[in-house]
């Protein structure tokens, strides 16, 4: 559901009304189900002035493109580690001050690039596996790196992979494996060498948001505005729908594409 919420946030773009997703850990017909309360919360939130894609779960409303699943067994299954809830529901209902303003809706554009690969790095990963993948029609690569965005740079270095991908005009986006992290490729050698090779840092975005944003960016890519790497670099330099900690908000694409 975090992938769905993230994808909808980018696909729907500017919103003037709420789009609320919900679900449950136990089916609605079972004893101790959480479905009933989640559904009631979702209905109430959908009637409010919250022009965002949100995920209503466990008495909270999370920004869809900041949510991730953290628990397969508990009722509090989703979190947005780097973004406070948009709303908390208890005896009262408390709305956050960071809800996005109402925006003028543009034309719906459903285009996605499905040929995007996400890889969780681990010690000993053979770079040749990724080199091979670059020649199978992959149009974008998301690397789930260590800490603040570090990749292997000595034995089994991934720097040549990033350089080769950039040469092929395949954007390489780096996210952190940590739930609470902000990718800063300038901080350590493992990130700075990746950045020099062409990698793009995803800030404090979730895995789900980085992947779906890249799919949307590449799906809507117009060669007339530059290569895929250039387009992705521009898109990941700013927040477009609250997906990263960035105060400036600009359009993902030139105005002509929304007309």
Looking at residue 106, its pLDDT comes to: 77
Orientation of helix 207-219 relative to helix 228-235, angle to 10°: 130
Six-digit token string for 99: 């809800």
Start-end of CATH 3.40.50.1170 domains in the chain: 2-95
Instruction: Give bridge partners of residue 120 from the DSSP assignment.
Output: 144
Q: What proportion of the chain, given as a percentage, has pLDDT over 90? A: 90
| pLDDT higher than threshold 60 for residue 252 | no
Looking at residue 257, its pLDDT comes to: 39
| pLDDT higher than threshold 60 for residue 254 | no
Residue with tokens 């991730």: 68
Do 54 and 20 meet the contact criterion of CB atoms below 8 Å apart? Answer: yes
Looking at residue 169, its pLDDT comes to: 98
- Write down the pTM of the prediction: 0.91
Which residue, 71, 81, 21, 100, is CA-closest to 203?
Answer: 81
Q: How confident is the model at residue 54 (pLDDT cuts 50, 70, 90)?
A: very high
Rounded CA Rg of the chain: 19
pLDDT (average), residues 176-193: 95
pLDDT (average), residues 219-248: 90
| pLDDT higher than threshold 80 for residue 99 | yes
pLDDT (average), residues 166-186: 97
Phi-psi region of 226 (alpha: psi -120 to 50; beta: other; left: phi over 0): left
Looking at residue 256, its pLDDT comes to: 40
Q: How confident is the model at residue 162 (pLDDT cuts 50, 70, 90)?
A: very high
Looking at residue 108, its pLDDT comes to: 86
| pLDDT higher than threshold 50 for residue 248 | no
- pLDDT higher at 103 or 50: 50
Start-end of CATH 3.40.50.40 domains in the chain: 116-258
Q: How confident is the model at residue 249 (pLDDT cuts 50, 70, 90)?
A: very low
Looking at residue 167, its pLDDT comes to: 98
| pLDDT higher than threshold 80 for residue 258 | no
Is 2-95 assigned to CATH 3.20.20.140?
A: no
The CATH number given to 116-258 is 3.40.50.40
Where is average pLDDT lowest: 102-106, 119-123, 146-150, 178-182? 102-106
57 contacts: CB under 8 Å, gap ≥ 6 = 22, 23, 38, 76, 77, 78
Helix or strand run (H / E) with residue 11: helix 2-12
Distance CA 8, CA 22 (A): 13
- pLDDT higher at 104 or 126: 126
- The whole-chain average pLDDT of the chain stands at 93
């Amino acid at each position: 559901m975090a992938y769905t919420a993230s994808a909808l946030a980018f696909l729907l773009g500017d919103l003037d009304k709420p789009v609320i997703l919900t679900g449950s850990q136990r089916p609605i017909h079972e004893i101790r189900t959480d479905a009933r309360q989640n559904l009631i919360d979702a209905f109430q939130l959908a009637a409010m002035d919250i022009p965002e894609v949100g995920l209503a779960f466990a008495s909270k409303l999370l920004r869809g493109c900041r949510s991730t699943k953290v628990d397969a067994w508990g009722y509090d299954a989703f979190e947005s580690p780097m973004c406070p809830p948009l709303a908390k529901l208890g005896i009262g209902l408390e709305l956050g001050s960071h809800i996005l303003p109402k925006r003028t809706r543009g034309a719906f554009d459903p285009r996605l690039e499905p040929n995007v690969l996400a890889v969780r790095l681990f010690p000993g990963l053979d770079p040749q596996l990724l080199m091979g993948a670059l020649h199978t029609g992959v149009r974008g690569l998301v690397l789930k790196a260590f800490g603040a965005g570090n990749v292997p740079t000595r034995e089994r270095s991934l720097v040549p992979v990033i350089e080769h991908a950039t040469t092929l005009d395949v954007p390489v986006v780096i996210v952190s494996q940590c739930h609470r992290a902000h990718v800063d490729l300038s901080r350590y050698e493992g990130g700075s060498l990746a950045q020099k090779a062409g990698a793009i840092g995803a800030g404090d975005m979730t895995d789900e948001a980085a992947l779906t944003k890249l799919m949307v960016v590449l799906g809507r890519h117009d060669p007339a505005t530059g290569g895929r790497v250039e387009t992705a670099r521009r898109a990941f330099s700013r927040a477009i729908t609250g997906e990263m900690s960035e105060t400036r908000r600009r359009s993902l694409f030139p105005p002509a594409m929304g007309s």
